[in-house]
Amino acid sequence: MAVTEPRVFTDPAQLREALKDRGVVGFVPTMGYLHDGHATLMRWARQSCDTVVLSIYVNPLQFGPNEDYASYPRDLERDVKVAASAGVDYVFAPTDGIMYPPGFSTRVSVQGVADTLDGLSRPGHFTGVATVVLKLLNLVRPDKVFLGEKDWQQVAVLRRMITDLNVTVEVVGVPTVRSEDGASRGLALSSRNSYLNDEQKARATVLSRALRAVQDAYAGGERSTAALRQAGLTVLNAEPQVNLDYLTIVDSNLQEHATVTDDPFNRILIAARLFGVRLIDNMPLSAVGPA
């Protein structure tokens, strides 16, 4: 059966016209260079919505001055084909001129959950994320937005923003999708994985193995955050390419405590550079907790 390619819009007014009377609209915001993690978000949207919109926009506001904005992978033609295979109806690919016209001077700053972890490592990052996502939500006006839980802190930031600013959209968190491919099995899917060759991807699985070591220590009865963290560090220290940013265990408010409780929403978060590429991952502290 032939797959119908989605219509691609750059003009938000034309997109909104196409969305009139299209029932429940599901929205998946992305920066493109789509992988199966993105496709999973789209399939979730397809299953629960009448119409699915995917946005593709590499947002300059969320990149720091020494980050990979210029080299971030871009391939709209390829992305449209991936979107088609996942059942997307419309692709919104706005230009910089639409998103940030001359004189643009407004930023959305989320306090608390945005001030730690990646908020410290990447100053301004979450302000850029919150600003672009609020603009996209205002332009698309969906009923549901689907966000990948690999970016756990980002989801927390966007949930806070949506709640605080009374944005009328339902947030649907979608569990992390991991590689099933041989030596790289377990690696969290990410567009930045494209910077790594096969051997490097296999070695990057040290991140997910470290998270599972923390889970195992917790399952064995350990409750000291320092001791749990050490279980993960032992795994990470075996890979000389790891340049660790953070490995931490946080509660639902992204706060770390000296001793963890048996809260099913406790989460292990990690960020590190391997082979010059910054990767993030997370897992529930309890292997039987929320995915």
Q: Which residues are annotated as part of the binding site for (R)-pantoate?
A: 62, 154
Residue 172 phi/psi, 5° resolution? -115, 115
Cα atoms found within 13 Å of the Cα of residue 92, Cβ hemisphere only: 30
Rounded distance between C-alpha atoms, residue 212 and residue 226, angstroms: 16
- How far is it, in rounded angstroms, from Cα 94 to Cα 12? 8
From the list 19, 38, 204, 247, the catalytic residue is: 38
Distance separating alpha carbons of residues 55 and 27, to the nearest angstrom: 8
- Joined together, the tokens standing for residue 171 give 């947030």
User: Can 38 be counted among the known catalytic residues?
Assistant: yes
Question: Per DSSP, what are the bridge partners of residue 259?
Answer: 224
Pick out the residues of the known binding site: 31-38, 62, 148-151, 154, 177, 189-192
- Contact (Cβ atoms closer than 8 angstroms) between residue 61 and residue 123: no
Choose among 188, 219, 226, 218: nearest CA to 205.
188
Which of 85, 24, 76 is closest to 55 using CA atoms? 76
Residue 186, both tokens? 């377990």
Catalytic residues: 38
